[in-house]
Amino acid sequence: MKLYEKKQIDWKNILFDNKTLLWLILPIIIEQFLNSLMGMVDTMMVSTVGSEAISAVSLVDSINNLVIQIFSAMAAGATIICSQYIGSGNRKESNRAAGQVLLTVFVISLSIAVLCILGGERLLRLLFGTVKNSVMENSLVYFMITVISYPFLALFSAGAAFYRASGNSKFPTKVSIVSNVINVTANALFIYGFKWGVAGAAFATLLSRIFCTVVIFYCLRKPRQTIVVRDYLKIRPDIPLILTIMAIGVPSGIENGMFQFGKLAVQSTVSTLGTTAMSAQAMTNIFENVNGIFGNSVGIGLMTVVGQCIGASRKEEAKYYIVKLMGIAGIGTLISCLFVLAITKPVTWLAGMEIEAAQMCFELVVAMTVVKPLVWVGAFGLPYGLRAAGDVKFSMIASVSVMWGCRVALGIFLVRMFHFGLMAVWVGMFADWIVRAVIFTIRFMNGKWLNYKMS
């Protein structure tokens, strides 16, 4: 099968020219980069409090990331369904769907927050009961404060998705930039000024997320934009529409949730290797996020592009954009990996990491730099385009199966049975990337993902 049929594309009236693509994706790249940079700064600030503090934040963030991925899946569902409605010219339905997304996201995020508050200590001890008491105490403090921010994070994610679905990625990026400045400033004040330790880092996160939500909700009411949501208190559940939205959101949520559960299982194994390994893993995860920024950003933009193409019944154009943007993402990922490799030692030194942990982190980054440019885009960038067409169930089944079979089972097996140390965790991850890339490339080539238009 050809990648796409050039003759079936109206090149004079394509939906997204190069300039439009640039201004859709560039703000997302900037936003993702700043988010990762601020995450790195957060870690460096917390690391000055001590190894127990950074280990606690790393452990809790593995849970927080699970919740974030669930909210991201909901936001992805919002982007896909709204962009398909926009592509088909049905903006009224897009606005109605946006209101139902907000209602659904709020109820789910509030429920998760309440459950975490009620069972926080038991949950942490169930997952990380083998860690030192000082690490557990810091973890509990950090967790209980950040949990309060869940509804704010979920609502902002959904609101930002509405703007991106309409092709406006600039505004959410501007809000995110200001939010990151607030977060870092509050971190410095609470950690260094008030000496609040991990509690200070948590309060800074909460404050920045509240800001994002207030701004995005105020601006969604303005009538001049593509998607408008007003009279929030008057929104009532529309069950058929919610089910349509959930048809995309639930599989994506399960996929992302199971992915994070797998990371939690791996994190629990890492916690048995000692504080040094935990510290190295925490910093390496941040580096991995940084060198994945470009690919992830292109993928997020790709959801809008493919969603609108599918909504407008331009299937060959959708395939063309996937091929084009994945090529760009591959080049960007290579450059990102080389950049991260170059800054690894200076950053670990500035962060005041222990020598052994810093060296362990550098070795992991070297291995990642070799593997990631070859397979990561096919494993994680390509599925964005397939999901945008509505092919979410296949993505869920394939991703979850491969993740548990390779990343979790293989990684844990190598650690516990052969005592390979922290590198074994990343061997399992690399195997996961390779198998995913093969599966999703085959799926794209056979064209079955084009049979799932949702709107």
pLDDT in tens, 310-338: 988 899 999 999 999 999 999 999 999 99
Per the prediction, the chain carries an average pLDDT of: 87
pLDDT tens figures, 34-84: 776 776 677 678 777 777 787 788 788 878 877 887 888 788 888 888 888
**213, 71 contact by CB (below 8 A):** no
Q: How far apart are CA 293 and CA 297, in angstroms?
A: 6
Residue 40's pLDDT is 64
Helix (H) / strand (E) containing 403 = none
The Cβ-side half-sphere exposure at 237, using a 13 Å CA radius, reads 10
How many CB atoms are located within 10 Å of the residue 215 CB?
18
Q: What is the pLDDT of residue 244?
A: 79
Left (φ > 0), alpha (ψ -120 to 50) or beta: where does 222 sit? Answer: beta
- 253, 268, 308: which is closest to 425 by C-alpha? 268
Choice between 142 and 256, residue whose per-residue pLDDT is larger: 142
Q: Which residues contact 348 (CB under 8 A, 6 or more apart)?
A: 283, 357, 358, 361, 362
Q: pLDDT tens-digit profile of 189-225?
A: 999 898 888 899 899 999 999 999 999 989 998 888 8
How sure is the predictor about 423, in pLDDT bands with cuts at 50, 70 and 90? confident
Q: What angle do CA 8, 10, 12 make, to 5 degrees?
A: 155
Token output for 274: 């000692």
Q: What's the CA angle centered on 194, arms 188 and 198, to 5 degrees?
A: 70
In 3D space, the residue among 300, 321, 318, 320 whose CA is nearest the CA of residue 309 turns out to be 318
pLDDT band at 1 (very low <50, low <70, confident <90, very high): low
The confidence score (pLDDT) of residue 453 equals 58
Query: Mean pLDDT across the stretch 440-450?
Result: 92
**What tens digit of pLDDT does each residue of 324-381 get?**
999 999 999 999 999 999 999 998 888 788 888 899 999 999 999 999 999 999 999 9
Whole-Å CA distances, 72 to 77, 153, 342, 391: 9, 10, 30, 17
Mean pLDDT of 228-257: 83
Measured torsion, CA atoms of residues 330, 440, 445, 312, in degrees rounded to the nearest 10: -80
pLDDT digits (tens, 9 = 90+) for 137-167: 888 999 999 999 999 999 999 999 999 988 8
pLDDT for res 370: 95
Q: What integer pLDDT is reported at residue 5 of this predicted model?
A: 82
Instruction: Report residue 69 CA to chain centroid gap.
Output: 6
Identity of the amino acid at 64: N
| pLDDT at residue 234 greater than cutoff 80 | yes
Which pLDDT score, from 0 to 100, does residue 39 have? 66
Q: What percent of the chain has pLDDT over 70?
A: 98
Positive or negative torsion for Cα 53, 55, 57, 60:
negative
Mean pLDDT along residues 16-22: 91
What residues contact 273, with CB distance under 8 A and at least 6 apart?
A: 415, 421, 422
pTM, whole model, 2 decimals?
A: 0.82
The residue behind tokens 């936001």 is 75
pLDDT of 407 above 70: yes
Question: What pLDDT is recorded for position 254?
Answer: 81
Question: E-strand spans in 176-308?
Answer: none
CA 182/CA 305 separation, integer angstroms: 32
